[in-house]
Structure 1
Amino acid sequence: MKPAPKPPRLADRLLEWMVAPHRLEAIQGDLHEEFAYQVGRMGLRRARWRYWRDLLGFARPWAIKRQPTDYSSPFFLHPDMLSNYVKIAWRNLVRQKLYSLINLSGLGLGLAASVLILLWVQNELSFDSYHHKADTTYRVTNTLKVSEEPWVWSSSPLILGDLAQRQIPGVERIARFKKPWQPVSFRVNEAVFYEENSAIIDSTWFACFDYEFLAGNAAHALDEPGSLVLTETKARTWFGDPQAALNKTVLMDTTLLTVRAVVRTNRPNSSFRYDVLVPIAASFRSAEDRKNDQDWNNFNYQLFLQLKPGTSATNVGQQLTQFYRAYKKDSTLTASLLPLTAIHFDTSFQSDELPKGSRNTVWMLGLVGLVILVIASINYVNLSTALASQRAKEVGVKKIIGAGRGALFGQFMTESTLLTVMALVLALVLIALGLPLFNDFTDNQFSLDLGNGMLWLLLLGSVAVTVLLSGVYPAVLLSSLLPVKVLKGSNVLNMGNARFRQGLVVTQFVASIILIISTLIIFQQLRFVHSKDPGYGREHVFYMQLPYSKTMSNTHARDVLKQQLRELSGVAGVTSANQPIINNMSSHSGSLKWAAKRDDFTPTVAQFSVEPEMRTVFNLKLAEGRWFERGKRLDTANVILNEAAVKSLGLKAPVVGQWFEFQSRRGQVIGVAKDFHFKSLHEKIDPMVLFNAPGWHSYIFTKVNPGATEHVLADVERIWKASYPDKPFKYSFLDDSFAQLYQSEQKAGQLFNVFAGIAVLISCLGLFGLATFSAERRNREIGVRKVLGASVQSIVALLSKDFVKLVLVAIVIASPLAWYIMDRWLQAFAYRVNMPWWVFGLAGLLAVVTALLTVSFQSIRAALMNPVKSLRSE
């Protein structure tokens, strides 16, 4: 028989919520009778619409008003009810000490790790956004199309900013800055400081960007050409106190400057973390320097534009491009504007003085933080649902005496919230203890400032997410138990709930295994980077940068210094160049000529000025031809190309002997050098021209015999002080410079190690809790099996096999996911390791062994228990 049609379910629920309980039965009965009649008269569809209309007709005071009663049930969020929930929650936490400790530890660790990660992620994503006009501030970006490949520069000519300010109506203000090309010396009283963290800025800098002034003010800080602005950190170093620094004089090389302001050290999420700020007018050593800076071919400054509201950044970029057409006579150079807040993650530049972040690393670590929080929440869900049978009678009795589902839901959510708040307190303690180490890892100065609104937003946001992740499902499950089944003693947890818990365990270990695999592959890539032959020998080599003014004006003094170094005991070789061999950023385009060059081909090449001794000091290899030789006058016009240049420029064999014009000097290609890595392995080897121009050389490289480093450095320092008494002695080993290229990956790898370990530990805590519960639940079964002769090994295997199966399933799911994630990460390297199969096998083995060790303790303990005790307890 076909069932009778029913009114709309949603309408009935609305009626039950709206109408007073003492009138509900009569009104609902009448409406149902009317609905049945109208179905027969006008059909189901129209009857349903009519039911809605009739229902809304009862939205009147007489139908809605509740009848007063002496025994009304308070709202489940009433303060009295909440107080009762907290008492019950506390009693349950105390009664289930082991499980409460597991949940508290897991959630505390998870919250601490997640908040630390979120602090870093929030810092990265908010770079430079704190400036009050960040949304209208842009940096000028210049793009040159070289052959088919665009080259992008972050610097612009000084004069471009002046034109933009005068001739583009939409530009409200400009600000320029540049970093000195070598560290600058500052004499404070009798002390000399060699400052690497200085910047040359426009007089409008503080009008464009926000600084907190501790002494002096933004309006007059750069009024005079001889002004100087220090950060609080630098003022304390030089003068002991920020206020004491004001109006003190400092000698920058030969220029006298006066401290006019002290500002607070910039935030960790600032691109401009410079400690010494010098106005552009004070940076010129001579009238010739000032004239050179006005040249359209000198791209020395980063140019920032603040636009008026409503101004199109695209249109401003087009107008800047027209300036290049008009004044530089360049038809290939185009200008565009990059938002200030986008600079940190933009990696399209050939070179950039501002610190860069990796968006991939940010999102990966952010995902790791969320995964850790999910893993910790899964522990609570699993243990709460597993223990549901022990609280079934409590739920049944409460429902029989009138507790509604909403009240029970509120009770269990309160328990979850209480535990999470306790975990938050534990997390704050862990964060306070771990923050110094985390700051070392990330090179930041995060602090546990409880007055910081953003910190509380992260903390409370994490707590809210944790409460929702961990509390909702157990609360829904427990509040939905049927009292009849519970009090009859029926099994209230069906197979579906068990499967759900198993799925959560698999999810935990999928996440943990992905982190383990990622950690192993990051380690493999970093080992590959450090072990790959760069094409030159960097061991036991250190270098020094000579003072610009002394080097360019007196090359004889440099040659005397090199000869003194060669004569030292323990020195294997000395040479000089225009750039460090590592991270060589010097490039050249436009004036290259050779026999087969096409007229429309304008390549850009890296340039490296070297001398004859360079080959022996660095053990550089030649594919063909010869190296530069001392005494051969023509070698100052000859060049050596690397293999990448031969291929990129399209030179036909034989290459050696062909004429080649470079830097307006015409000579021959005398050799082809084997490719070597002069940048990081993120980038492919670019074409390079090696030439011999000793006048360009400001870097001296010294190779030391093994074991002689300490006394050689002492001798070199003595010679340096005799040659440059007013300049501090500073050197760098090539190995250290090489490691700096991969510092971000190294730190990311260390962070992955730490957080992967935390994720695995939290997963193991949950597995330990489930193993404990499983052993307790099967106490009688274990006792019977032991009485019947089962061995300890067989019982341990019985209790462990289900968990091992879940871990094996997790391995199968995690492996392809980890491969995909790490393949995307490795794409950032032009030279990368292949992901070996054994990495996935080792990660799986570690997961299985970890799971076995976790559950074995409880399994062995249960297997060794006297069966008499377990059977007697039943």
Structure 2
Amino acid sequence: MIRNYLKIAFRNLRKNKIFSVINIVGLAIGLTCFMLITVFVYDELSYDKYADEADNIYRINLSATGNGDVAVYPNVDVAVGEGMKNAFPEIKASTRISPASDFVKYNDKQFKEQKLAFADSNFLQMFSIPLIEGDNKTALVQPNSVVISKAFAKKYFGNEDALGKSLTIGLHNALYKVTGVIDKVPDNTHFHFDAFLSLTTFHITRATWSNVGFYTYLLLNKNANAKALEAKFPQLVAKYVVPEVQHDMGVSLAEAQKSVNTFRFSLQPVTDIHLHANTKYELEPNGDIQYVYIFSALAIFILLLACVNFTNLSTARAVKRSREVGIRKVMGSIKKQLIFQFLTESVLFTFFSMLCAYALIFFLLPYFNELSNKNIDFIFFLSWQSILVLFSVSFIAGILAGIYPAFFLSSFNTIKVLKGASLQGSQRKPLRSSLIVFQFFISTALIIATIIVYQQLHYMQNKKLGYDKDQVLYLPDARLLGSNQFAFEQQILKDSRVVSASISRYVPGGIMMDGTEIYPKNETGNGTEIHTNIYHIDYDYLRTLGIRVVQGRDFSKAFSTDSAGVLINEEAARELGWTNSNAVGKTIVRSGQQEYKVVGVVADFNYASVKQKISPMMMMLGNNFGGLIVKINTKDIQGFLGDLKKQWTLFNPDGPLEYNFLDENFAKLYASEEHTQQIFSAFAVLAIIIASLGLFGLSAFVIEQRTKEIGIRKVLGASVKNVLLLVSKEFLLLVMIAFLISIPVTWWAMHTWLQDFAYRIDITAWVFAIAGIAVIFIAFLTISFQAIKAAIANPVKSLRTE
């Protein structure tokens, strides 16, 4: 019996090649999208779950309330982790890590390494990162020891045994002995380092609590309650933080005790960091749970689109198979057998689609990895779990997509179909119309979303930032020049292509930033204590970056008192209770009772991402040794860079020249949004393709059923335009309904998404108009191909059609 079902199924597949190809290709695209997005979502949800006790590991975050706002830091002070462990028995262990970047040298090999980190001796153990060489328990115990990855060892030592050898790290040529080698840090984790240096190398003399700097993790006992533990943290703030605030800020005990309410430690599960933590100071750019939800919905919707195609086309083809059903019933087939026959055909289609999906995945996976910033191997899809998932999804999709056509076909009245009664009225059934509406609703919504994401990305990339990022180079390692740094600056200023230069490690969009608490001196009522970020700059910084002074003046060598002066931005002036005009000349007090005179107010500029609101900023002279910012004006960028490298070499630095452009650094801040826009675009195109395939097949069928009608109309004088309008108006009406439904739904969804951005676009009506015109035009082109073909056909042949 099964063999007979399969034989008939293959016969129908060959007989209806166009419909078969449309069904198989549509389902294959749907399954491919579903599997790729599912793997993406699975990978996102798997972050930091690899550790043996991942469910019991928590990161300590710090929330500081001030300025009517809450600043969240994912790192805390040096003593916090161990102090909490000693205070509460439910904490089994604590560990810290602090990222670094520096030059690493072995013999004649020297490279700038960006992925270094100082770590406690138990860090690798807590995160279950095994050593393939060395002892995991003792590798980072001794000062000046380092554990490196296998790739890192290959880079410096080649095929030599790395264990026991020494690497020279940093300007002071400190020797670090290799005491362990790991394979690599897992891909699905919120940190990726190539080398872990022993934190005991630092001789920390003061165990403080009130600052930040160390990413600190706690391992709780199995039955410990994290929320109950958090509730005990204020007593540690009162014990350790309050005295430090009182000492550093020079305030009364009563004033310092306010820190108990404004200085809060909290615990975040390590498994939540990747998708739920998005502070400015994360170890790496994280994912976003919203995108997981969005892409999960996309996977389901695109698979549904493919199933809708199958249902529509199979139901439409029912008329052509009505006599077959009637004859089968006369020959003794019962309804149950007919249903099983049609479900067999449906499932067979989906399994063909599954094979095509595997071929598509194989070819598209490299592009998908690049698009999603993942490193998924095709072997993953060959695991029994993946095969089982795809097999199950294909089987279920086949059943769900074929169940309605199966019941529809098997329910035909035998006598009526054998007499040739018309079933064309079924083509207007509400189900088929609603399915077409659903298809184009999803397609239109994706087009609208893609346009809005592109607009927001374009807005962020082209927003006036308050500083000039074009043709500005940043040399982060000017410190390699030692005492020649200032001489090098003067030398390159002689080049006519150099407009200006400034010595500073602080650039907009960079990770270097200090911070402190400040308050206005001798003011009550309107004055308040606020948190401000700090840039250390020189006299040429503002001019080099084109930052405007709106009140007062810039730093000047003509004023010796400027060493105790500061520049603040407009936001700092507002939050201190001043206006721009009366801020100049006021005195600011920072921790340690240091006083600074405001010499000028600079216009607000986006020194962080445009996604974040501009925060208070304070600029101070000095403490800027180490970086060089160069503003140039030339069309021959490569020629200038070649000359710059020659000048660098002449000064005999301790390392190679490294540089980057501010506009490139700025673009990296929006890599996540750019990937989102690209993914939306890709899936919008696929959704349109799937919907158009279904519409193409359905319109072909409808035209085939109305061949005689079209022939008669042509004989009676109907033009090609009349025939085209006759065939397309019903479908275009459904597409228009889908467009109208998509407007409020998409507006709400994208309005919600835009709330994550401090500076964002307004959603305008023309976005919806463009999407509507685009989808209606695509639908019209899809229908008109078949309609025009029918309209120009010989009416004599049309009237002879059976």
Does the 8 Å CA contact 1:106/1:379 hold for their aligned counterparts?
yes
Tell whether 2:221 aligns with 1:308: yes
Give the structure 2 partner of residue 359 of structure 1.
289
Which of the numbers 710, 718, 724 marks the counterpart of 1:790? 718
Per-residue CA deviations over 1:298-330 (Å, capped at 9, x if unaligned) read 422111111111111123334444333223335
CA distance in 2 between counterparts of 1:485 and 1:218 reads: 80
Which of the numbers 154, 177, 182 marks the counterpart of 1:258? 177
Give the structure 2 partner of residue 326 of structure 1.
239
Per-residue deviation, 1:848: 1.4
Per-residue deviation, 1:348: 5.8
CA distance 1:616–1:454, change in 2 (3 Å) = farther
CA distance in 2 between counterparts of 1:255 and 1:587 reads: 26
Does the 8 Å CA contact 2:339/2:406 hold for their aligned counterparts?
yes
Give the structure 2 partner of residue 20 of structure 1.
none
Tell whether 2:6 aligns with 1:86: yes
CA distance in 1 between counterparts of 2:676 and 2:669 reads: 13
Range 353-362 or range 660-669, more displaced: 660-669
Highest CA radius of gyration, 1 or 2? 1
Per-residue CA deviations over 1:55-81 (Å, capped at 9, x if unaligned) read xxxxxxxxxxxxxxxxxxxxxxxxxx4
Per-residue deviation, 1:675: 1.2
CA distance in 2 between counterparts of 1:409 and 1:234 reads: 62
CA distance 1:574–1:833, change in 2 (3 Å) = same
Give the structure 1 partner of residue 546 of structure 2.
619
Give the structure 2 partner of residue 280 of structure 1.
199
CA distance in 1 between counterparts of 2:138 and 2:400 reads: 54
CA distance in 2 between counterparts of 1:725 and 1:739 reads: 30
CA distance in 2 between counterparts of 1:144 and 1:533 reads: 30
Range 857-866 or range 250-259, more displaced: 250-259
SS in structure 2 at match of 1:197: strand
CA distance in 1 between counterparts of 2:568 and 2:410 reads: 77
**Aligned-partner residue type, residue 374 of structure 2:** N
Range 396-405 or range 539-548, more displaced: 396-405
CA RMSD of aligned residues (A): 2.4
Per-residue CA deviations over 1:666-712 (Å, capped at 9, x if unaligned) read 343222211111111211111212222x2234331101112242233
Which of the numbers 519, 522, 538 marks the counterpart of 2:453? 522
Give the structure 2 partner of residue 802 of structure 1.
730
Matches within 5 A, 1:76-155: 81-155=1-75
Give the structure 1 partner of residue 414 of structure 2.
483
CA distance 1:593–1:814, change in 2 (3 Å) = same
SS in structure 1 at match of 2:266: strand
Matches within 5 A, 1:692-711: 692=621, 694-711=622-639
Does the 8 Å CA contact 2:478/2:485 hold for their aligned counterparts?
no
CA distance in 1 between counterparts of 2:436 and 2:103 reads: 60
**Aligned-partner residue type, residue 263 of structure 2:** L
Tell whether 2:369 aligns with 1:436: no
CA distance 1:519–1:681, change in 2 (3 Å) = same
Per-residue CA deviations over 1:224-257 (Å, capped at 9, x if unaligned) read 444322223333333345x843444322222223
Per-residue deviation, 1:826: 1.2
Give the structure 1 partner of residue 254 of structure 2.
none
CA distance 1:156–1:761, change in 2 (3 Å) = same
SS in structure 1 at match of 2:735: helix
**Aligned-partner residue type, residue 374 of structure 1:** L
CA distance in 2 between counterparts of 1:628 and 1:459 reads: 66
Give the structure 1 partner of residue 600 of structure 2.
671
Does the 8 Å CA contact 1:579/1:698 hold for their aligned counterparts?
no
CA distance 1:781–1:534, change in 2 (3 Å) = same
SS in structure 1 at match of 2:583: coil
CA distance in 2 between counterparts of 1:416 and 1:365 reads: 27
Does the 8 Å CA contact 1:246/1:260 hold for their aligned counterparts?
yes
SS in structure 2 at match of 1:767: helix
Does the 8 Å CA contact 2:140/2:179 hold for their aligned counterparts?
yes
Does the 8 Å CA contact 2:520/2:586 hold for their aligned counterparts?
no
Does the 8 Å CA contact 1:621/1:673 hold for their aligned counterparts?
yes
Q: Which runs of 5 or more residues in structure 2 are unaligned?
A: 243-258
Give the structure 2 partner of residue 689 of structure 1.
618
Per-residue deviation, 1:269: 1.9
CA distance in 1 between counterparts of 2:146 and 2:391 reads: 43
Per-residue deviation, 1:557: 3.5
Tell whether 2:299 aligns with 1:299: no
CA distance in 1 between counterparts of 2:567 and 2:397 reads: 62
CA distance in 1 between counterparts of 2:386 and 2:651 reads: 52
CA distance in 2 between counterparts of 1:456 and 1:306 reads: 37
CA distance 1:833–1:801, change in 2 (3 Å) = same
**Aligned-partner residue type, residue 231 of structure 1:** S
Does the 8 Å CA contact 1:165/1:172 hold for their aligned counterparts?
yes
Matches within 5 A, 1:690-839: 690-692=619-621, 694-723=622-651, 725-839=653-767
Per-residue deviation, 1:504: 0.8
Per-residue deviation, 1:547: 6.5
Does the 8 Å CA contact 1:117/1:366 hold for their aligned counterparts?
yes
Give the structure 2 partner of residue 193 of structure 1.
111
**Aligned-partner residue type, residue 116 of structure 2:** S
CA distance 1:837–1:720, change in 2 (3 Å) = same
Range 737-746 or range 318-327, more displaced: 318-327
Per-residue deviation, 1:202: 1.7
**Aligned-partner residue type, residue 602 of structure 2:** A
Matches within 5 A, 1:393-472: 393-449=323-379, 450-456=381-387, 458-472=389-403
CA distance in 2 between counterparts of 1:789 and 1:109 reads: 42
Which of the numbers 309, 315, 321 marks the counterpart of 1:379? 309
Per-residue deviation, 1:453: 4.7
Per-residue deviation, 1:575: 0.7
CA distance 1:830–1:591, change in 2 (3 Å) = closer
**Aligned-partner residue type, residue 570 of structure 1:** R
Does the 8 Å CA contact 1:186/1:252 hold for their aligned counterparts?
yes
Range 122-131 or range 657-666, more displaced: 657-666
Tell whether 2:407 aligns with 1:501: no
Which of the numbers 500, 518, 522 marks the counterpart of 1:573? 500
Tell whether 2:768 aligns with 1:855: no
Percent of matched pairs sharing the same residue = 32
CA distance 1:399–1:255, change in 2 (3 Å) = farther
Does the 8 Å CA contact 1:139/1:305 hold for their aligned counterparts?
yes
Range 600-609 or range 208-217, more displaced: 208-217
Give the structure 1 partner of residue 149 of structure 2.
231
Does the 8 Å CA contact 2:190/2:283 hold for their aligned counterparts?
no
SS in structure 1 at match of 2:337: helix
CA distance in 2 between counterparts of 1:451 and 1:113 reads: 17
Does the 8 Å CA contact 1:351/1:585 hold for their aligned counterparts?
no
Per-residue CA deviations over 1:259-303 (Å, capped at 9, x if unaligned) read 333333334321122222222124x3xx4xx325x4334422111
Per-residue deviation, 1:447: 1.1
**Aligned-partner residue type, residue 313 of structure 1:** A
Tell whether 2:467 aligns with 1:536: yes
CA distance in 2 between counterparts of 1:491 and 1:249 reads: 87
CA distance in 1 between counterparts of 2:113 and 2:219 reads: 30
Aligned residues: 780
Does the 8 Å CA contact 2:536/2:619 hold for their aligned counterparts?
yes
Range 171-180 or range 576-585, more displaced: 576-585
Does the 8 Å CA contact 2:585/2:598 hold for their aligned counterparts?
yes
Does the 8 Å CA contact 1:634/1:667 hold for their aligned counterparts?
no
Q: Which runs of 5 or more residues in structure 1 are unaligned?
A: 1-80
Give the structure 2 partner of residue 51 of structure 1.
none
**Aligned-partner residue type, residue 324 of structure 1:** V
